[in-house]
Chain A
């Protein structure tokens, strides 16, 4: 009986002593953390995709709470609404960005861009591009080994076996930019997301001269500049034999699409303009000199 009593007493004393020690240790080494960080983390989508530039949502939440100016921080997955609600909670001004979507700027399908050789090394775009030009004659185009697919955390990009090119599912794409970073050829671009996923863009990144492009691929931009001339909004620039449509300036008027001789300008979810518009005279008038200029330039 006595043994039992002593045992219980010793254990109780030990327990109390440990509790006291632990209390003081906990006080000494306590980490002060803003409780708002937890709250903000809950408000973020929790995808941990790294699209904001931080390793995960926690890092982003930490930065959002600690920085006074959060205009440089943006969560592409949550988008404007998410940022607004967080900013309201923190009482800071949020960055505003229009929604974006990843766009694959290569039209070199199996049919348009013939294979010149066969690659049987490691199935990775990064490896292949460090070794050589790729399986086709185009040194700028998509390699088709799907580094962008591997890296996508949202299952939003897939290689279409018929074309050999990646295709983005605009419903799933959050514009986190992981594929943009993964592509060694810098083909993927984050572009403005229009309603109904409409888009007009130059589906080529080749800076080769026209003749070289034509030889390698039937869908490449040859830098002829016809689109630049026809664009009324100054949205198209041709530099280094390559046209680029500025998504901020483009109004989706689609005139360039009909001008492009190789079909490098892609039209998504939109009907093309009728080829030869039998329009009233005042509409036909500005079109005629534009065509004349293009002919002279050639």
Chain B
């Protein structure tokens, strides 16, 4: 069975909600839409307080090429455009909309009928995806139209659909693949056309045999598309790991991108969003969110409008358990702990994990015993103990030389450390600082040219 070449861990899978069909969450009374819910420049608000908006109407426009449009997930009145605390309690620009019914904007096809034919050209497809504000829904929220716009001089030769979902607990991609396999495959063929390739691989971890079987059956109708079962190993769903597992190619260190080895990777939910955007004119205003946790009463998968308060998802799953210690936006490996449950669901929110009791608390850190388990676990071939130490010493030059910018922040090092050292906490800080220095240097060098 295929897998990536080095490092990785195998945390307990805990896919509690994998057998639960997607339910539709009742529409929230108010939604809050952050203007920055993607990598790149924040979107620019196109509405002001008091404006009436329809579901699917453009409310914020991409701030630059590396940005994404945002559409209203409900119809109603804009109550405010101001700074509101996000899940981490940090203030962010958000549009608050008070819902009044659910009246959709014109031109959006809401029927369930499958539309297979797509006569649009590659440019038209990418333009439609850009208009719909689609970003990577696996969590990285990289604008999809940027990914699909292959830079001149480079050529893509394979499309890889990321159905790995290696993060423990989360099952939103799994359910999407099971319940919308047909639509997903149409999405795949649209993406293949957009980047001009004739081969596509759907990578799925082997702990989802039903999804593998389902898609393998459907895929026979589609020429050039292949389902690739992958070994269960975290972070199999990391972009670079997935490319290595499926094609055997190694993406060089940054600033190289997957396109440099001819691959374009797209998440399964994103691919479905592409189908809806291109074939049904439906912008990205809802997504499947897994709400899960060992002591959550009913772990489930909910089709949720963007901007819905996370509290209402937890309520739908039976409320916050009494022993809840930590609520995480995302999964336990890469998700971010939240302090504000009134914060909204965003485009990159694939799940809400509630950890309780001992799982929620990190144990006290002791000394590094130089066991090098973190080195063995790092899927990028870095030396986490060293990077962490150098960050504490603020040795930015050394960190840059040691390729800290290659770190994908998967957390394998931290999860494997027998001394419970907060390795990733430090490495993340080091990576941010080094990337800041690199940006500054680039900015200083630019005007001289």
Contact = CB atoms under 8 A, between A and B. Distances in A.
A19 B362 CA distance: 66
Q: How large is the interface on B (under 10, 10 to 19, 20 to 34, 35 or more residues)?
A: 10 to 19
Most buried by B among A122, A127, A130: A122
A132 B426 CA distance: 14
A149 to B, nearest CB: 14
Contacts of A248: none
Interface stretch (B38-46, B88-96, B196-204): B88-96
Contacts of B91: 139
Interface residues of A, number: 15
Given A121-B422, A122-B422, A131 B339 contact: no
A48 to B, nearest CB: 16
A10 B271 CA distance: 85
A230 to B, nearest CB: 30
Contact of A132 (B88, B361, B362, B428): B88
A214 B154 CA distance: 56
A124 B421 CA distance: 13
A253 interface: no
B28 interface: no
B85 A139 contact: yes
Most buried by A among B89, B361, B422, B426: B89
A156 interface: no
B425 A134 contact: no
B89 to A, nearest CB: 3
Contacts of A120: 361-362
B85 A117 contact: no
B339 A133 contact: yes
A133 B89 contact: yes
B64 interface: no
Interface in B59-93: 85, 88-91
A205 to B, nearest CB: 14
A35 to B, nearest CB: 33
A131 B362 contact: no
Contacts of A164: none
A131 B432 CA distance: 11
A139 B425 contact: no
A133 B362 contact: no
A229 B232 CA distance: 67
Contact of B90 (A116, A117, A133, A137): A133
B345 interface: no
B85 A126 contact: no
Nearest to A134: B89
Nearest to B420: A120
B426 A122 contact: yes
Most buried by B among A117, A121, A134: A121
Given A132-B90, A133-B88, A133-B90, 19 more contacts: A117-B339, A120-B362, A121-B422, A121-B425, A122-B422, A122-B425, A127-B426, A127-B428, A127-B429, A130-B428, A131-B88, A131-B337, A131-B425, A131-B428, A132-B337, A133-B339, A134-B89, A139-B90, A139-B91
**Closest 6 pairs (CB-CB, A-B):** A133-B89, A132-B88, A122-B425, A122-B422, A121-B425, A120-B362
Interface of B: 85, 88-91, 336-337, 339, 361-362, 392, 422, 425-426, 428-429, 432
